[in-house]
Amino acid sequence: MDSEKKQIENKAFTEECNAVLMAVSDALYAIGGKWKLMIIISMARGNKRFTEIQRQVKGISARVLSSELKELEINGFIIKKVAVGYPVTIEYELLPYSQTLQEVVEAMTKWGMQHRQKIKTESSLDKSKN
């Protein structure tokens, strides 16, 4: 391969790489962070109330949950529904757009499970060495 051709290929390669990086960066901006995916997962299982979600998403504080829900609403993943009455009941619902995350969630879940398995195997190997 002559060096001119190499340069052209490298350029295309770099551009493809940049496109992928930009996409992943966009994705991380919207759904990155410790909580957003977990909240969506919990809601996809039917949790709608603030306290329900907080109970299932272990470790999240009310303050953080509150601000995450706001961001998810702004970004079109969920909607907050306030039903008048005594007492007022507030429910959060997934919007169709959050369905588009299904593949991402599935891939992460699958990977997370096999990763946990790997860690477990490694730590039991460590033990058997001692």
Partner DNA sequence: CGGCATCCAAATAGATACTG
Partner DNA sequence: CAGTATCTATTTGGATGCCG
Contacts (CB under 8 A) with a copy of itself, residues 30-69: 30, 32-34, 37-38, 41-42, 45-46, 56-58
Q: Judge whether 44 and 36 are in contact, CB under 8 Å.
A: no
State yes or no: residue 44 binds DNA (CB under 7 A): no
Q: Which does residue 45 touch among DNA, a copy of itself, none (CB within 5 to 8 A, set by kind)? A: a copy of itself
- For residue 90, the surrounding DSSP H or E stretch is strand 89-94
State yes or no: residue 80 binds a copy of itself (CB under 8 A): no
Q: Which does residue 58 touch among a copy of itself, DNA, none (CB within 5 to 8 A, set by kind)? A: a copy of itself
Q: Judge whether 76 and 65 are in contact, CB under 8 Å.
A: no
Between 70 and 120, CB nearer to DNA:
70
The alpha carbon torsion through 55, 117, 23, 38 (nearest 10 deg) reads 0
State yes or no: residue 3 binds a copy of itself (CB under 8 A): no
Decide: helix, strand or coil at residue 54. helix
Contacts (CB under 7 A) with DNA, residues 65-84: 66-67, 69-70, 80
Decide: helix, strand or coil at residue 53. helix
Decide: helix, strand or coil at residue 83. strand
Q: Enumerate binding residues for DNA (CB under 7 A).
A: 33-34, 49-52, 59-64, 66-67, 69-70, 80, 87, 89-92
